[in-house]
Structure 1
């Protein structure tokens, strides 16, 4: 029975992944919630409360839960937790940037290292770690067409990509495969909350359920031979700077390996 740990699973992509993986009876799905209360009426999903990935206590709370359930091995870890606050040259935000780094880069890295250090079997040669990043974390893809701003959002994703690469090097000898992914531009409360819903149609945004399906299909093909790489399972369809940087979208493959 594959054990799947989803971090950040109460809404958006995480909730869609939980629903999709739980639809397979053989899967043992663990899903974290930031609050002490967890979603009701969930089928085949065990929710772990009080896992705020931006908090230092997240690793201890998670490990304590795993130990209480005698879980000694995890086949897949997918970390989807994120935070997005908009910024401009005229209105940068120290507090927002700090929260984005803690949530998007520091927290996921500390959580994966905690799992890796807990025992040699919790993450081993049959384990995969998927860090949900964004094409916004690619320095190569930043282009004048898009402009600047959103410093914390872009840079925290770039930091996550670097940490994912370093984790892949540290865990390669153990056989743990680690990847960073851009799951796609999604129609979520997060993107709506920062006003990006006005770009949904032009930007080919999809629902979290559609993005989850594409990501799950890609994960099935992912193994240690691709560890330390950065991928867009849905290709370049929703990456606005892909053409000026990488060339015509119709000539780019799907899935697409992204440049750092």
Structure 2
């Protein structure tokens, strides 16, 4: 039987009528203006979405960029892309395991030593899932469940714990790259460990909003769309044709979120909420009054 809770993911997808699969004029990062001296940290910079974020912020003219990932090879590749776009950007690369306290603390040390403590935005783009074919609790492996919760939940806590002090100084932004799976209960790929840990991750963003919004911090969960990546290659061949979104879409959307023009109104409305980079931003802006008045795009228990 179909119920509102079971169909919520599709309702969220369709919150805005027009959906995009690649950057478009309204979110062109080359037309955006960031605050002077802007420094962004991208944790998970070696993946598809991570490199898309790096390219977009490079195109927008960020002054500094901290790239963090497990693989030195992918870090070097992303750093080269950034340099090819804008050689004037100061880039620091940090080998990082998002589930390691010491490892994430090293990012904070890099902010201090190489950027004099300046940090304006943090993006946490780290994800893990076991085989999508093992969807139920009885089919899943313990190791996959443990790794998913460590990556999605412990990881975001560690990033916030170590990096929020810098953001409190700059009145900066903390954004997690989320997934539509946070709202999903049925359908292909709804493994219990992935969906529930992504839900908890999005709820953590709401908690950070409750704790730090009045101190000037902007937080959000951003769905990056469906793209070809190391993560998606583990998915069934049956859904590969659906993974057609450009990795640069989430990057361009994220620059739009943080750009100087219209920042006060935009972040005032969207702070603490779950967003999709696929949503047309003009149509999203047309819903701002409704979003604020009805407190939309957040999780809640429905009661009467």
| TM beyond 0.5 | yes
2:94 is aligned with 1:94: no
Q: Which whole-Å CA distance do the structure 2 matches of 1:180 and 1:199 have between them? A: 24
2:205 is aligned with 1:164: yes
CA, structure 1 residues 211+70, in 2 after alignment: closer, same or farther (shift >3 Å)?
Answer: closer
For residue 219 of structure 1, report the CA deviation from its aligned partner.
4.3
Partner of 1:19: 55
Q: Out of 212, 217, 223, which is 2:267 matched to? A: 223
CA, structure 1 residues 111+211, in 2 after alignment: closer, same or farther (shift >3 Å)?
Answer: closer
Q: Which whole-Å CA distance do the structure 1 matches of 2:106 and 2:170 have between them? A: 25
Deviations 1:131-151 (A, max 9, x none): 11111112xx534xx168511
Q: TM-score, normalised by structure 2?
A: 0.69
Partner of 1:66: 111
Partner of 1:9: 45
Q: Which has the higher contact order (CA 8 A, sep 6+)?
A: 2
Partner of 1:210: 249
Conservation of the 8 A alpha-carbon contact between 2:111 and 2:119: no
- Structure 1 gaps of 5+ residues are 237-252
Q: TM-score, normalised by structure 1?
A: 0.79
2:279 is aligned with 1:232: no
- Structure 2 gaps of 5+ residues are 1-36, 84-88, 288-295, 300-304
The structure where helix makes up a greater share of residues is 2
Q: Which whole-Å CA distance do the structure 1 matches of 2:160 and 2:145 have between them? A: 22
CA, structure 1 residues 124+189, in 2 after alignment: closer, same or farther (shift >3 Å)?
Answer: same
Q: How does 1:183-202 map to 2 (within 5 A)?
A: 183-195=224-236, 197-201=237-241
Task: Give the total of aligned pairs.
Answer: 235
